[in-house]
Structure 1
Amino acid sequence: MSEIEGEPRSPEGGDMPFRIGGWRVEPQLDEVSLDGEAVKLEPRAMRVLLALAREPGRLVTSEALLDQVWPNLTVTSNSLYQAVGDLRRVLGADKATQVFITTVSRRGYRLVAPVERAKEEQRRPAPGVARLGPRSVAILPFGAPNLPESHGFLAEVLLDDLIDEVSRHPAIVAIARGTMLTFAGRPVDPLLVARDLGVGFVVEGRLLLAAEELRVSLRLIDGNGGRQVVAEETAFALADWANSGRLTMARAARRLLLELAEGATRGPPVEGGRDLRAIEAAMRAWVELYCRPQTPESNERAWRWAEEALALDPDSAIGLNALAFCEWRAAQYGWRPQERAVLLTAALEHAQRAIDLAPRNPDPYYTLALATLLAGDLNRAEAALRHCIGLNASYAPAHALLGLVRTMQGFPQEAAALCARAFALSPYEPLRAIWHWIVAWAAIVLDEDETALAQAEQGIAANPHFPTCYVAGAIAARRLGKNALAAQYARALSASPTFGNLADIAENLPALHFAPLRSAYLADLAAAGLPDGGAADVTASG
Structure 2
Amino acid sequence: MSDAELAARPSGPLKIGDWWADPQLDELRRGDQVVKLEPRKMHLLMALARRPQQLVTLDQLLDEVWADLVVTPSSVYQSISQLRSVLGDDASQPRYIVTVPRKGYRLVAEVSEWQSEPAPPPSVAAAPAPEAQAAPEVVAPPAPSRRLLLGGSAVAAGLLGLGGAWLWQRRVTPGGQEIMLAVLPFGDASPKALEQPLADSLAESVILALSQHRQIRVVARSTSFQYRNPQALAPQAGQLAITHVLGGELRRWQQGLQLKLSLHRAADSEQLWQQVLDAPSAALASLALSAANAALQALGQPPLAAGTSSPPLADAYELYLLGLHHQRSGQIEGILKARAYFQRAIDSDPGFALAYVGQAASWIAEYHYGSGLSFRAMDARAQPLIDRALQLDPELPLALGLQGHLKANLSQHEEARRWLSRAVEKAPSDASLLNWSGSNESDDGWPARAQPFFSQAARLSPLAVQIQHRAGLAAIHAGQYQAAEAAFQRAIGLAPQHANGHWGLGILGFARGRLADAVLGYRKALLLDGKREALWGQLAWLYLDLGLADEAARAFAQFEALSATPAAARMEAARQWVRAGDPAALALALQAQPLKPAQAALERYAVIDAALLQLWLGQPQAALRSLESVIGLVLADPVPLYNNWLSFQGHHILLDVATIYSAAGQRDKAEAFIEQASAFVERYVRQGNVWHAAGYHRARVLALRGQVEAALAALEEAVRLGWRRGWWLAQDPALQGLREAPRFKALLARIEAANQEQRGKLLLS
TM-score by length of 1: 0.50
- Structure with max Cα Rg: 2
Instruction: Name whichever structure is richer in helix by fraction.
Output: 2
By relative contact order (CA 8 Å, sep 6+), the higher-ranking structure is: 1
Q: Normalised by the size of structure 2, how large is the TM-score?
A: 0.36
